[in-house]
Amino acid sequence: MKLPHLVAALCLAVTAGGVAAQDPNLARNLAATCANCHGTDGKAAAGAGMEALAGADKEKLLQKIREFKSGVRPATIMQQIAKGYTDAQLELIASYFAAQR
């Protein structure tokens, strides 16, 4: 491999790895998967009968979601939904909603 090619390949490898590791929008994008039911940025539509997630205490939010995931908290749909995320992703999601005002 010629030197310029090697340099280009290394640059690509570094960029690809970095994007996955530090996507600044990752928490927002994960939280957006909750928007259909809980409202944009966790701000539930008035009268929708849905708890607002925005501005909730992070630890309380995380505890509820973990209980959905483990199955100890009764739910119609949240148990299945919570199981679709890793603990690290749920942590990011809870942080994002807790930071919304």
* Residues near ligand HEC (CB under 6 A): 33-34, 36-38, 51, 53, 61, 64-65, 75-78, 81, 93
Minimum separation from the CB atom of position 19 to ligand HEC (A): 22
d(CA 101, CA 94): 13
CA 66 to chain centroid: 13
Minimum separation from the CB atom of position 65 to ligand HEC (A): 5
Identify residue 75 by its one-letter amino acid code: A
Extract the tokens encoding 57.
Answer: 């205490």
Residue closer to ligand HEC by CB (options 14, 75) is: 75
Minimum separation from the CB atom of position 79 to ligand HEC (A): 7
- 71 exposure class (CB count in 10 Å sphere: 0-12, 13-18, 19+): exposed
Minimum separation from the CB atom of position 70 to ligand HEC (A): 14
Residue closer to ligand HEC by CB (options 23, 51) is: 51
The beta-carbon contacts of 66-75 under 8 Å, at least 24 apart in sequence, are 66/90
